[in-house]
Amino acid sequence: MKISGLTLPLCLAIAGLFPGHANCAPGARLAAAGSPPAAAASSPPALYLGTAWYPEQWPESRWNADLDLMEAAHIRFVRIGEFAWSRLEPSEGDYHLDWMYRAIRAAESHHIAVVIGTPSAAPPAWLTSKYPETLRVKQDGRLAEHGNRQQFNWADPLYRRLVFQMVLQEAKRFGHDPDVIGWQIDNEYATLSYGPIAKAQFQNWLHARYQTLDNLNTRWTTAYWSQTYTSWTQIPIETNYGNPGLLLSWKRFVSDTWRSYQANQLRALRPNIDPRQFITTNMMGFFDGYDAYTVARDLDMASWDDYVGTGQLNPVVNGAEHDLTRGFLRKNFWVMETQPGFVNWSPDNNSLDKGEVRAMAWHDVGHGADAVSYWQWRSALNGQEEYHGTLIGADGTPVPLYSEVAQTGREFAKAGPALAGTTVHSQVAILHSYESYWAINWQRHNKAFNPIAAMVSYYGAIRALAHSVDIVSPDVDLSQYKLVIAPALNLITDREAANLISYVRNGGHLVLTQRSGMKNVDNGLQTERQPGPLVSLLGGRVEQYYALDTTIPVSGVWGNENSHLWAELLSTSNPQTRVLMRYGKTPLGWLDNQPAAITRKVGQGSITYIGAELEGETLDKAASWMMTEAGVHPEFGSLPAGVDLYIRSDARHEVWILINFGQSTQTVNLPSDFKNVLAGGSQHSVTLKPLAVAVLQRPVPQAAR
């Protein structure tokens, strides 16, 4: 039977004709096809297509029907188990892992590998009623209840012990299973507890960090509003309008506590699993509930859950989230969850357009994803997320999107060998600092100033020219980059300052933008004014910042524009420091004819500070100026409107992925002959309809070797 170009096994064809009679006998398809089961992980694909599958929600007699359909769509892995604790341990110490073993074997017989999600995000009802102290205390002081998920207290030692025992059972049972390729710890770390357990740990954490109350009181300037502490136990948890040092400390504590929460599970997993099984956790793009660099440090691979929610894919914003995730461990990552068309939790759960889910999958790969996995395969017949997009419907047969996903799966299989071992190589980095963004968000000063938006605006302008951008933390070795842009790097620690200074002194080109260098390691004011420890290297500084309620003209080497939101009055103190842009005249008066952007050459390198908000053409010109100054000359210039280029390479060859996110058909003339990986043949130009994707390959050009 054909459903949108796909041949389905007979039992499923019957299921499609007679919804409600969807059960295929286990193994029926395999017996018919005569192919022996083989360890799904024995020939891992370079690109994995996957889905979240919840075998515990379905009768076992249904499993093979699901897996048949998955296999037909070229799905090569399932993630299972991340909310299945009540099935894995129905009562304390009574572990039931056989069903999971059988689910893995069933997947294996369909050449589908398995990632196990540890179930700690959804403790069973017996556990939280027997040990109510494992429930989290909400900010209003009330205890979370059963009935949802993430009701646990991430800081509670007892909860951790119970989790450890559970995960240990799984690790021992499946740690050497040939079909288990990896582990996802928990699911989307997010919820905190504000009760006495977390508070005491926070106070101990502060004690360890600051050593003495005198030190803490000085560094937080607690003389202000009589906040001086004379005992560690007096220090509260603050998340909103607290002392800036206290706010930042709480966030650091939260990040460290997620790290130790995760380490508890790593201790159960690492000694009991094969090193070939990766360990990850699914993060959430720009979610800033914790510092993802801190948490990712102990993992083998980064992964994230990539949801559009309302509207269509914004390739720039979404691309920045991919590049952010790739920067956590500075290597390829997985998209562990993504939406099959639409979600259920957004204000308007519109569907992505026909073709957009496939384009989005290739967009993921272009940014360095080696796997794309749909959440979820099929909706639980009852449960909070009944309306969410899926690949098969409540009757157990494919929804319209299934064939598009199957096409993507076919293409992944075809393009896998070309992409194997490749990654994104960038000459440009954007710095991302959770601490800076928190610091600004606690004290925005202009409520419309969004530090992520500021970062993404530079990212978009530079990416359009450079085609590859890394997003990394300010404390990593930057020597591989010709150009480093630090948008709104508000908080600069001494260590980060030393890193940036040595980067410039060794020939790097650093561009700081608005609000950079205002805060020190304790979220207190830098006494040099902005950009703090970089003032002397810059040979200039910020004399005053202004939140704008009107527009301010700015003009200079990057053209003219009416700037808004924020303006910083700059000055130069070193004769080598040049003014690039100046503000025009306005009723505000303070900024009239004053420097808005300045730069200084330092040996072979340079440091630039931009105090005005740039957008549109001015921002584009600034980006192209930065590229020229830094000597970044991509082989390929700008692309037709709406078309994006992503390049992955290894020592041998380059793979170019071109996607047309625009509304009209575009032709791209290529700089040399390319092999068309998906369509076959060789070509010197490619024509792309809206949402079309081209995957092209060529040997690495001599000049780039």
Of 269 and 308, the one with the shorter C-beta distance to ligand GAL is: 308
- With binding defined as CB under 6 A, does residue 325 bind ligand GAL? no
How many whole angstroms separate alpha carbon 177 and alpha carbon 173? 8
Residue 41, C-beta contacts closer than 8 angstroms, at least 6 positions apart: 113, 178, 179, 180, 181
* CB distance 328 to 301 below 8 Å: no
Whichever of 389 and 611 has its CB closer to ligand GAL, that residue is 389
In the complex, minimum distance from the CB of residue 121 to ligand GAL, in angstroms, rounded to a whole number:
8
Least CB distance to ligand GAL at residue 115 (A): 13
321 binds ligand GAL (CB under 6 A): no
Which residues neighbour 100 within 8 Å (Cβ) at sequence distance 6 or greater? 55, 80, 81, 84, 88, 116, 170, 173, 174
Would you state the structure tokens that stand for residue 17, as one six-digit string? 């004709």
343 sits near ligand GAL (criterion: CB under 6 A): yes
Q: Which two tokens stand for residue 634?
A: 């991509």
Q: How far is the CB of 347 from ligand GAL (least distance, A)?
A: 14
Neighbour count for residue 606 (Cβ, 10 Å): 21
Give the SS3 label for residue 351.
coil
| CA-based nearest residue to 562, from 618, 514, 626 | 618
Of residues 494 through 523, those in contact with ligand GAL by CB under 6 A are: none
Q: What is the phi/psi pair of residue 525, to 5°?
A: -75, 140
H or E element, residue 125: helix 125-130
Decide whether 75 or 484 has the Cβ nearer to ligand GAL: 75
Min. distance of Cβ 145 from ligand GAL in angstroms?
A: 19
Amino acid at residue number 408: T
- Closest approach, Cβ 339 to ligand GAL, in A, equals 6
Binders in 161-220 for ligand GAL, by CB under 6 A: 187-188
Residue 686: CB minimum distance to ligand GAL, A: 34
Asked if 694 contacts 658 with a C-beta cutoff of 8 angstroms, the reply is: yes
Q: Which is nearer to ligand GAL, 375 or 503 (CB)?
A: 375
**Which one, 305 or 561, has the nearer CB to ligand GAL?**
305
Provide the 10 A C-beta neighbour count for residue 460: 19
Number of residues that bind ligand GAL (CB under 6 A): 10
CB-CB neighbours of 130 under 10 Å: 12
Among 95, 126, 287, 307, binds ligand GAL (CB under 6 A): 307
- Minimum CB distance to ligand GAL, residue 81 (Å): 12
Q: How far is the CB of 82 from ligand GAL (least distance, A)?
A: 7
Question: Dihedral of CA 587/591/593/597: which sign?
Answer: negative
Site for ligand GAL in 376-435 (CB under 6 A): 385, 388
Q: Which helix (H) or strand (E) holds 105?
A: helix 98-108
Q: Residue 188 catalytic?
A: yes
Tell me which residues in 619-658 interact with ligand GAL (CB under 6 A).
none
Catalytic residue among 82, 108, 337, 411: 337
580-599 mask for ligand GAL (x: CB under 6 A)? --------------------
CA separation for the pair 155, 202 (Å, rounded): 10
CA–CA distance, 448 with 434 (Å, rounded to integer): 18
CA distances from 192 to 137, 161, 361, 439 (A): 8, 18, 32, 20
Q: Are 358 and 369 in contact (CB under 8 A)?
A: no
Sheet holding 559-563, edge to edge: 470-472, 428-431, 483-486, 509-513, 605-610, 595-602, 577-583, 552-556, 559-563
Which residues does residue 676 pair with via DSSP β-bridges, in sequence order? 696
Nearer to ligand GAL, 149 or 172 (CB): 149
**Among residues 357 and 632, whose Cβ is nearest to ligand GAL?**
357
Q: Is 337 a catalytic residue?
A: yes
Residue (84 or 614) nearer to ligand GAL, CB: 84
Dist. CA 466–CA 659, nearest whole Å: 16
By C-beta, is 301 or 554 nearer to ligand GAL? 301
Binding flags for ligand GAL, 254-293, as an x/- string (CB under 6 A):
----------------------------------------
- Interacting span for ligand GAL (CB under 6 A) from 89-97, 337-345, 393-401, 693-701: 337-345
Q: Cα separation of 198 and 465, whole Å?
A: 47
Q: Nearest distance from residue 388's CB to ligand GAL, in Å?
A: 6
Given the residues 71, 82, 170, 188, select the one marked as catalytic. Answer: 188
For residue 596, give Cα distances in angstroms to 219, 504, 533, 570, 583: 32, 21, 20, 6, 6
Give the residue with the Cβ less far from ligand GAL, 99 or 287: 287
Closer residue to ligand GAL, CB minimum distance, 179 or 188: 188
Task: Give the helix/strand (H/E) hosting 102.
Answer: helix 98-108
Cβ proximity of 540 and 579 under 8 Å: no
What are the two backbone dihedrals, phi and then psi, of residue 655, each rounded to the nearest 5 degrees? -115, 125
Site for ligand GAL in 350-379 (CB under 6 A): 375
* Nearest to ligand GAL of 305, 435 (CB atom): 305
Is 79 or 509 the residue whose CB approaches ligand GAL more closely? Answer: 79
Q: Least distance from C-beta 550 to ligand GAL, angstroms?
A: 40
> Which of 177, 337, 470, 613 is in the footprint of ligand GAL by CB under 6 A?
337
- Backbone φ, ψ for residue 467 (5° rounding): 65, -10
Which long-range contacts does 446-450 make (Cβ < 8 Å, 24+ apart)? 446/547, 446/548, 446/565, 446/566, 448/565, 449/515, 449/547, 449/565, 449/566
Nearest CA to 491 out of 435, 544, 572, 427 is that of 435
- Judge contact between 433 and 472, C-beta under 8 A: no
Strands 2-3 and 666-676: what pairing? Answer: unpaired
Min separation Cβ 369 and ligand GAL, Å: 17
Applying CB under 6 A, which residues contact ligand GAL? 187-188, 305, 307, 337, 343, 345, 375, 385, 388
Catalytically active residues are 188, 337
